[in-house]
Chains A and B, each alone.
Chain A
Amino acid sequence: MKIGPQDVLDALKSVEDPDLHRDIVSLGFVKDLEVGDNRVAFTIQLTTPACPVKDQLAAAARQAVAALGIGDVQVRMTSQVMTPIRSQNQLIPQVKNTVAVASGKGGVGKSTVAANLAVALMRAGAKVGLMDTDVYGPSVPMLMGGNTAPHVVEGKIEPPVEYGIKIISMAYFLPKDEAVIWRGPMLHKTIQQFLGEVRWGELDYLLMDMPPGTGDIQLSLSQTIPLTGAVIVSTPQDLALTVASKAIAMFQKLKVPILGIVENMSYYLCPQCGHREDIFGHGGARAAASKLGFPFLGEIPLDVNVRIQSDGGKPVALDDTTPCGKAFQEIAGALAAQISVANYQVGPEITIE
């Protein structure tokens, strides 16, 4: 019996995306299907290059088609990052997803997490931007090397690029020893300028490192653009989580989806003897995520190399063979999956006439 395209599609319906809970055919992932004599070739187009189950999906698809008796099965994996809310993102229409990286407290490592997640997503093949909205304590350029400066092109700011990531921060615009002593309206204006007057170009993900707490900047951001979602960073201690829940409550009030919780400084692994010490406790963030019903994206251990490399402007996520680098790689994959899930759940565009 000759195998036709519909037979192949029917076989592929057994392959399900574990995050979206639907088969890859009804999701529209299968493209460019070619059926020949004992040969089938097709493309699976995922919603992100950082899909954590990319290899499993490819293997399952190959196996499903091979089971039909096809000898030569060619599977090509590609990705196209999607964005459903097109109606109002007029400030940054070519940025597909905007993710706020927030926390309740300061000092939990938000900027480090934001910078390294950006690097991990970039290494997975995505086009990434990083916006440092902590106007009072901007630390992102230092974490990322700080070797290039912004310049003006056609009246807008061309952001510096470090490790393939476009970056904007107040630190680029102020002399090192000067402080920003501003009230609310100035902060709102800064957010609008960082969004509307920077040449971000086409980006799959724009990560925004927030200042700690729930203030003007979070509000301005949530009101100016339809944020794809927020990632909450916390240390394991109860205290960090109690305060983090304030940030969570704020985003919920503003209808910004919580994409997940990350536990930073999760435990200490001695590089000499491998002994593990839970200096700040352990697992508190995972427990809170489970209790509140949010995805838990992962744990990042305490590693002296994070500090050494950050001080030197080389994010640890550049090397995914280290425990920290690997943690960031996995968390970036989990985040990308949650972004896809969140995007599939957004309702139709709201039209105003």
Chain B
Amino acid sequence: MQVTPKKIKLAAGIDTLAIEWSDGHVSAYPYRYLRDKCPCATCTGTESLTAAAASPFPMFGVKPLKPDRAELVGRYALQIFWNDNHSTGIYSFEYLRECCPCGKCAVSRPVEDSVPGAS
């Protein structure tokens, strides 16, 4: 049986999105980390930074990043609607599990290359 999410918490702690998986594992993704991992064509096609980080004065007029809502896509992915108006990223469950930032998963993962979402 494939591992799938059981519960997705959009606000699970400070600036964190959490997923409880069917095999009991829990992943906690900081918002900025997850946003930078957006696998959509626009984000992966260019190596530019996301808009907020590109601003030299991030503390002026940029609201704190958070997901407004998320929707399931078919049987295999999650679409996250961020409050910076970016929502084209379709994060497959496989991809989400692959980029779980917890220590256990990081240890068992091969070294990442620099382009987010490339497989």
- Which chain A positions have C-beta within 8 A of B69? 352
- Which chain B positions have C-beta within 8 A of A226? 72, 74-75
CA–CA, A254 and B93, complex, Å: 10
List which B59-95 residues lie within 8 A (CB) of chain A: 69-77, 90, 93
- Which chain B positions have C-beta within 8 A of A227? 74-75
Is A255 close to B, CB under 8 A?
Answer: yes
- Which chain A positions have C-beta within 8 A of B73? 223
Task: In the complex, identify which listed stretch (B2-10, B37-45, B109-117) lies at the interface while the others stay far away.
Answer: B2-10
Among A222, A223, A348, A352, the residue within 8 A (CB) of B8 is: A352
Is B22 close to A, CB under 8 A?
Answer: yes
- Which chain A positions have C-beta within 8 A of B93? 255
Is B1 close to A, CB under 8 A?
Answer: yes
| A352 and B75 contacting across the interface, CB-CB below 8 Å | no
Smallest beta-carbon distance B91→chain A, Å: 13
Is A55 close to B, CB under 8 A?
Answer: no
Among B4, B8, B75, the residue within 8 A (CB) of A351 is: B8
| B22 and A222 contacting across the interface, CB-CB below 8 Å | no
Among A255, A345, A348, A353, the residue within 8 A (CB) of B75 is: A255
Is A88 close to B, CB under 8 A?
Answer: yes
Smallest beta-carbon distance B73→chain A, Å: 5
B: interface residue count bin: 20 to 34
CA–CA, A253 and B8, complex, Å: 22
- Which chain B positions have C-beta within 8 A of A350? 4-8, 72
- Which chain A positions have C-beta within 8 A of B6? 347-348, 350-351
CA–CA, A176 and B7, complex, Å: 49
Smallest beta-carbon distance A315→chain B, Å: 30
| B90 and A223 contacting across the interface, CB-CB below 8 Å | yes
CA–CA, A29 and B91, complex, Å: 38
Smallest beta-carbon distance A266→chain B, Å: 31
Q: In this complex, which of B2, B6, B69 has the most chain A Cβ atoms within 10 angstroms of its Cβ?
A: B6
CA–CA, A222 and B75, complex, Å: 7
| B75 and A256 contacting across the interface, CB-CB below 8 Å | yes
| B10 and A352 contacting across the interface, CB-CB below 8 Å | yes
Smallest beta-carbon distance A55→chain B, Å: 32
| A255 and B2 contacting across the interface, CB-CB below 8 Å | yes
CA–CA, A224 and B76, complex, Å: 11
- Which chain A positions have C-beta within 8 A of B71? 88, 352
List which A301-353 residues lie within 8 A (CB) of chain B: 345, 347-348, 350-353
Q: Which residue of B lies closest to A255 (CB)?
A: B76
| B74 and A351 contacting across the interface, CB-CB below 8 Å | no
Is A87 close to B, CB under 8 A?
Answer: yes
Is A77 close to B, CB under 8 A?
Answer: no
Among B4, B10, B77, B90, the residue within 8 A (CB) of A347 is: B4
| A353 and B7 contacting across the interface, CB-CB below 8 Å | yes
| A255 and B7 contacting across the interface, CB-CB below 8 Å | no
| B74 and A255 contacting across the interface, CB-CB below 8 Å | yes
Smallest beta-carbon distance A108→chain B, Å: 25
CA–CA, A240 and B6, complex, Å: 38
- Which chain B positions have C-beta within 8 A of A347? 1, 4, 6, 22
Q: Which residue of A lies closest to B94 (CB)?
A: A255
| B74 and A225 contacting across the interface, CB-CB below 8 Å | yes
Smallest beta-carbon distance A310→chain B, Å: 32
Smallest beta-carbon distance B94→chain A, Å: 9
Among A87, A222, A352, the residue within 8 A (CB) of B74 is: A222
CA–CA, A350 and B10, complex, Å: 13
- Which chain A positions have C-beta within 8 A of B10? 352-353
Q: Which residue of B lies closest to A229 (CB)?
A: B75
CA–CA, A223 and B75, complex, Å: 7
| A224 and B74 contacting across the interface, CB-CB below 8 Å | yes
- Which chain B positions have C-beta within 8 A of A253? 76
Q: In this complex, which of A222, A256, A347, A350 has the most chain B Cβ atoms within 10 angstroms of its Cβ?
A: A350
User: 26 A–B contact pairs at CB < 8 A?
Assistant: A88-B71, A88-B72, A222-B74, A222-B75, A222-B76, A223-B73, A223-B74, A223-B77, A223-B90, A226-B74, A227-B74, A253-B76, A255-B76, A256-B74, A256-B75, A256-B76, A345-B1, A347-B22, A348-B22, A350-B72, A351-B7, A351-B8, A352-B7, A352-B10, A352-B70, A352-B71
Apart from A226-B72, A255-B75, A350-B7, 8 more pairs, CB < 8 Å: A85-B75, A88-B71, A253-B76, A256-B75, A348-B6, A350-B4, A352-B69, A353-B10
